[in-house]
């Protein structure tokens, strides 16, 4: 019996052919702000996993791609805003593995505007873009809304739905490997959070005695409940030690205040490492601030996960 899946997606070999760099590299960084507090700083370079699927995008999409292939689905339908990293990653993996991709974009008014650089990249990779009003977008997890979107796009029997940000139970289980890669390496792991899937998995994969700190990039204080929901769905209940630091969102998603920009420029000058602004810079700014406040005991090793490229 022959498979009618795209050749690259029909077997696990399609994913292996992308040759992800796993486990991702770990680098020690000498930073006086940490050293004078007796704290060691490591960078977990998930941004180097794959040039087109960097950071948590690989870890969250990979298990969903396996599930889509196993179900015989050839179209990935997912969601995001006008500058969504997740939409770009999904479009790229569709091109690389032969999946059709549909991106449902928040903001119906965008349909009448020229494509920005992010959506233009999605379109260039073959993603079909659908624009919905914000009220509909808020209901995107409801079965009747999903069914209507899939039917309108002509892929009702073929769609595999990936949630916004790629965060679902499969993604959380995939991100648990990140925690396992850091066992015995760090006492504290810091990571930026958008939809919560990476932190849910990371915390589950860490060993007893380790803890994770999430730095939400959106304001609103809703993320804790979402992480608990994801852990319940993925692992059957709470896993690992984690908490959120809500002070470092910089005003909300896509907001880069002058203080954060100055921090990122200074970090690049000190270490030669450019920081992605919307997620990574906020997490490292948060960790650096916490160190300065004496939040970590001397002798603590802190690992910062670099979840995306500039």
pLDDT band at 1 (very low <50, low <70, confident <90, very high): very low
Counted domains in the chain: 2
Tokens matching residue 212: 């994770």
Q: Is residue 9 part of a domain?
A: no
pLDDT band at 309 (very low <50, low <70, confident <90, very high): confident
116 and 182 together in one domain? no
Domain boundary among 95, 122, 157: 157
41 and 89 together in one domain? no
151 and 174 together in one domain? no
Domain span including residue 288 = 20-51+168-305
Domain boundary among 134, 157, 180: 157
Q: Is residue 254 part of a domain?
A: yes
Q: Is residue 43 part of a domain?
A: yes
- Which pLDDT value is given to residue 230? 97
Q: Rounded to 5 degrees, what angle do the CA atoms 161, 19, 79 make?
A: 20
83-125 confidence digits (pLDDT tens): 898 999 999 999 999 999 999 999 998 998 999 999 999 999 9
Is the pLDDT confidence value at 59 over 90?
yes
Q: What is the dihedral of CA 215, 225, 142, 86, to 10 degrees?
A: 20
pLDDT band at 244 (very low <50, low <70, confident <90, very high): very high
107 and 223 together in one domain? no
CA proximity to 189, closest of 30, 41, 7: 41
226 and 258 together in one domain? yes
Is the pLDDT confidence value at 75 over 80?
yes
Distance CA 218, CA 196 (A): 11
184 and 251 together in one domain? yes
212 and 240 together in one domain? yes
For the segment 271-277, the average pLDDT, to the nearest whole number, is 95
243 and 137 together in one domain? no
Q: Is residue 162 part of a domain?
A: no
* CATH number, domain with residue 253: 3.40.50.1100
For the segment 64-75, the average pLDDT, to the nearest whole number, is 93
- Which pLDDT value is given to residue 162? 95
149 and 103 together in one domain? yes
Alpha helices in the chain (DSSP H): 12-16, 32-35, 56-70, 85-97, 117-124, 134-138, 143-152, 169-181, 197-205, 223-235, 258-271, 280-292
Is the pLDDT confidence value at 30 over 70?
yes
Q: Is residue 24 part of a domain?
A: yes
For residue 245, the 8-state DSSP code is -
- Which pLDDT value is given to residue 3? 35
Q: Is residue 60 part of a domain?
A: no
pLDDT band at 4 (very low <50, low <70, confident <90, very high): very low
286-301 confidence digits (pLDDT tens): 999 999 999 999 999 9
- Which pLDDT value is given to residue 153? 73
186 and 93 together in one domain? no
Is the pLDDT confidence value at 278 over 70?
yes
- Which pLDDT value is given to residue 155? 75
173 and 91 together in one domain? no
Q: Is residue 32 part of a domain?
A: yes
Q: How would you classify residue 98: left for phi > 0, otherwise alpha for psi between -120 and 50, otherwise beta?
A: left
197 and 217 together in one domain? yes
Domain boundary among 123, 157, 191: 157
């Amino acid at each position: 019996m022959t498979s009618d899946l795209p050749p690259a997606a029909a077997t696990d070999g399609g994913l292996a052919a992308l040759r992800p760099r796993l486990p991702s590299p770990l680098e020690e960084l000498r930073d006086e702000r940490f050293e004078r507090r007796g704290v060691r700083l490591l960078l977990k370079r998930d941004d180097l996993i794959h040039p087109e699927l960097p950071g948590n995008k690989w870890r969250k999409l990979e298990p969903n791609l396996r599930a889509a292939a196993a179900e015989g689905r050839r179209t990935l339908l997912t969601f995001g805003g006008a500058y969504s990293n997740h939409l770009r990653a999904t479009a790229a993996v569709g091109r690389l593995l032969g999946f059709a991709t549909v991106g449902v974009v928040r903001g119906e008014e965008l349909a009448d505007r020229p494509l920005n650089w992010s959506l233009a990249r999605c379109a260039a990779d073959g993603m079909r873009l659908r624009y919905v009003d914000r009220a509909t977008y808020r209901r995107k997890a409801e079965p009747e809304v999903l069914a209507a979107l899939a039917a309108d796009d002509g892929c009702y029997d073929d769609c595999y739905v990936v949630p916004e940000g790629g965060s679902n139970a499969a993604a959380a289980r995939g991100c648990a490997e990140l925690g396992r890669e850091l066992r015995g390496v760090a006492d504290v792991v810091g990571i930026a959070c958008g939809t919560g899937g990476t932190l849910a998995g990371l915390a589950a994969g860490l060993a007893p005695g380790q803890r994770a700190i999430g730095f939400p990039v959106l304001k609103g204080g809703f993320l804790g409940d979402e992480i608990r929901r994801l852990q319940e769905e993925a692992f059957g209940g709470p896993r690992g030690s984690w908490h959120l630091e809500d002070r470092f969102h910089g005003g909300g998603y896509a907001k880069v205040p002058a203080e954060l920009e100055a921090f990122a420029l200074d970090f690049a000058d000190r270490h030669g490492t450019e920081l992605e602004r919307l997620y990574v810079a906020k997490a490292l700014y948060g960790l650096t601030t916490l160190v300065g406040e004496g939040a970590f005991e001397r002798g603590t090793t802190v690992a910062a996960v670099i979840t995306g490229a500039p």
